[in-house]
Amino acid sequence: MPPRADAIPPLETDPGALYVLGLLSLRAGRLEQSMELFSLALRLQPQHEGAHRNLVRALLAAGRPAETLAQADRALALLPDEAELHFARGTALNALRSPEPARIALSRAVALDPAHAPAWLNLGNACADLDDFALAERHCRTALALDPGLVEAQASLGYLLTVRGWLPEAIAACEAAIALRPDCVQAHWNLAVAALLAGDLPRGFTEYEWRKRHDRYRRDFISLPGPTWDGSDPSGRTILVHAEQGLGDTIQFARFLSLIAVQGGRPVLACDESLVPLFHEAMPDITVVSRGPDLPPYDAWIDQMSLPRAFGTRLETIPAADGYLVAHPGRRAAWASVLPPGPRIGLAWAGNRLHSNDARRSIPARALAPLLALPGIGFVNLQVGAAAGEQPNLPDLTPLLTDYAETAALIANLDLVLCCDTSVAHLAGALGRPAWVMLPHAPDWRWLRGRDDTPWYSSLRLFRQPVAGDWDSVVVAVVAALAGSGLAAGGNDRGDRHGQAVGVAPVGGVPLNVGNDGG
């Protein structure tokens, strides 16, 4: 005999039924619905272990790390020895850029379940974020030994091998990941970086197109109306070049605009507002506009960092390595009139703090102390924004460096620029001015490996960390090079015995404005 209708509890009052429906939704990929159902079940039955466990799974799959962490902590109060909950907790902490707590949580996960391949992989990721790349690689290989089909582990191995400088092996690992899953964005991205770092620009820039689907970069891209330019004959056509990513990238790849003009095209660069005066003054044959919704008419368009691929660029065909920008004569003369005589060196030690790798590429201000103690040099602060005040003996020129055109004019008056991997390095190189760039042990792809020069800028010299985090050795090498250069010998015209900070008078009372972001 079937139960009476009034004996069947309503769905919203039955935690068991809500839980089952939540499982079905989770398996079907309806994450929001599953989270709502599990949450309803937990309101009715707060100790429901399955609902706790699967709500964590749903939150993790939905990419909501802060909520995953909070729910994992609640679930662990009931299930303290559940390896998957420690895995979810550690994965969320990784996403929240808390690598040391993530390492602890994931270590607990693999201790409870040594066969949990994803936990080994994410433990490796946490170790990589802590710059322990050897241990990270070992954990990643453990994950692959447990699950050879774990595509994410193959892709991560490619990254780790790249960081360690083993580029052929890194490329092979990325290729293995792509063989398993041809649309694995992370594997294609890691392959692009490894190939570019190895100097294989054609393959690297072909793979670099995958950046447009990468979670970290795709926000930089918009779909503009009209056809995209593929590098075909631009003669008689207006080609809109849309800048992307950092301001240093925009400066570096501006060199390709003249190639469009040489072939009879009309290039238009749409870029960040702070760069417009620089390009307008330094490249008068190029139309430059602020990036935004109101763009001028064009016949075809292209993302700026796709230009090397469009031109089939190789290391030996990189254009304009000797420089392609010129500081405005009037601005340059204004700076010359206020700078004191004697050797003058510009300093920029920090990049854009929003950059994902900024903690590795920016130099702690205290590490520059041996450099600032050199005798006979006038140091000029090229840093802007909050970091500009980290060296109390260097006047903050942020109010005067209102845009990159002003920074270019100041650099044009310096004997040398010393900087980390930031937009200042690209600006100095694009101006053809001498600059020494201090690089982390695992550098960005554009600086290649194992060389102290760069085919992108002939005026730059590179100083590399011997091991990750060792800025002291880099500064010692720079100090030794300066001592042998003649810039630090004999003091400046004022007879100073120690390195001096250069103070300058205001150039026409310029108000504080948008300056370089250091990126």
For the domain made up of 329-501, give the CATH fold: Rossmann fold (3.40.50)
Q: Identify the DSSP state of 5.
A: G
8 A C-beta contact, residue 267 and residue 295: no
pLDDT at 11: 58
Q: Which CATH class is domain 222-317?
A: alpha beta
pLDDT at 267: 97
User: What CATH architecture does domain 152-220 belong to?
Assistant: Alpha Horseshoe (1.25)
Q: Which residues contact 498 (CB under 8 A, 6 or more apart)?
A: 373, 374, 375
| DSSP string for 19-77 | HHHHHHHHHTT-HHHHHHHHHHHHHH-TT-HHHHHHHHHHHHHTT-HHHHHHHHHHHHH
Count of Cβ atoms closer than 10 Å to residue 480 Cβ: 10
Q: What is the CA radius of gyration of the chain?
A: 27
pLDDT at 173: 97
From residue 431, alpha-carbon distances to 270, 279, 418 in Å are 20, 12, 15
Q: Which residues contact 399 (CB under 8 A, 6 or more apart)?
A: 506, 510, 511, 512
Within the chain, all domains assigned CATH 3.40.50.2000 are found at 329-501
pLDDT at 356: 66
pLDDT at 256: 98
8 A C-beta contact, residue 239 and residue 221: no
Q: What is the pLDDT of residues 62-115, one digit of tens each?
A: 999 999 999 999 999 999 999 999 999 999 999 999 999 999 999 999 999 999
Q: What is the mean pLDDT of each run of 10 residues along the chain (519 residues)?
A: 45 83 93 94 94 95 96 96 97 96 98 98 96 96 98 97 96 97 96 98 97 83 92 97 94 97 96 96 92 93 97 97 96 93 92 72 93 90 90 88 96 97 97 98 94 98 94 96 78 39 42 32
pLDDT at 9: 47
Within the chain, all domains assigned CATH 1.25.40.10 are found at 152-220
